[in-house]
Amino acid sequence: MNAAIPFSAQLINLFAAVILLLAFAMLAQRRVLALINLFALQGLTLCLATLVAAVTTGQVHLYYSAGLTLALKVLLLPWILYRLVKRLNVKGEVEALINIPTTMLVGLVLVMIAFNVALPISELSHTITRGTLGIALAVVMLAFLMMITRQKAITQVVGFLSMENGLFLAATSATYGMPMVVELGIALDVLVGVIILGVFFFQIRDQFDSLDIRHMERLKDN
């Protein structure tokens, strides 16, 4: 049986599975605020997974990475999003383009595809948490699906950030972290991106009187 896998790897696998579960929960979620909470929870799980990886491998930069995740994905970004939702008065349910059960089924198919794609790679990896690569890919795809099927601008951004979570999971758990310079750069880009988007939201609302991106379908090839 699985006795050969050390406890830390089991923990990382568990956290990865929880992240996947949260990705699905986000896909099924109808309310914006709950969505943001789920996103923060996903960040927290990611942070814990990174922490376990850091303790296991003793690589210092993974600690920084975990700290960065905690500060950015668990505290700062959800806070910014929360403020935005309050300030912009985003109300009601998130309207999905496809009904939620169908979305879930499509998500399931995506997970299968992701796992299949990742399987040959996992076989090659020497890190003990190779399976997480497939989960990371699945999370990325689910976030992508969320961006496609949701109509509110804010949900798309949460989807985008969730995608980033999946990528970080791939970076930290499957390869035990990218070089520090790169991680810092990525974090900075994400932060700046969200701030720009925050400014954007106000302008979009001023121009369209709504954050519903269905209003933004004028530009077409006709």
Q: Restricting to residues 68-107, which ones interact with another protein according to CB under 8 A?
A: 100-101, 104-105, 107
CA separation for the pair 166, 1 (Å, rounded): 29
Least distance to another protein from the beta carbon of 62, Å?
11
Are 74 and 44 spatial neighbours (Cβ–Cβ below 8 Å)? yes
Shortest Å, Cβ 22 to another protein: 12
Task: Please state, in angstroms and rounded to a whole number, the distance separating the CA atoms of residues 67 and 58.
Answer: 15
Q: Which of 75, 76, 98, 216 binds another protein (CB under 8 A)?
A: 216
| Position among 26, 35, 96, 171 found at the interface with another protein (CB under 8 A) | 171
Site string for another protein, 120-159 (x = CB under 8 A): xxxxxxx----xxxxx-x--x---x--x-----x--x---
The answer to whether the CB of 100 falls within 8 A of the CB of 218 is: no
Q: What 3-state DSSP class applies to 122?
A: helix
User: Using the rule CB under 8 A, which residue among 37, 67, 193, 210 binds another protein?
Assistant: 193
Which of positions 37-66 make contact with another protein (CB under 8 A)? 59
Q: How far is CA 95 from CA 23, 30, 91, 163, in A?
A: 18, 7, 11, 20
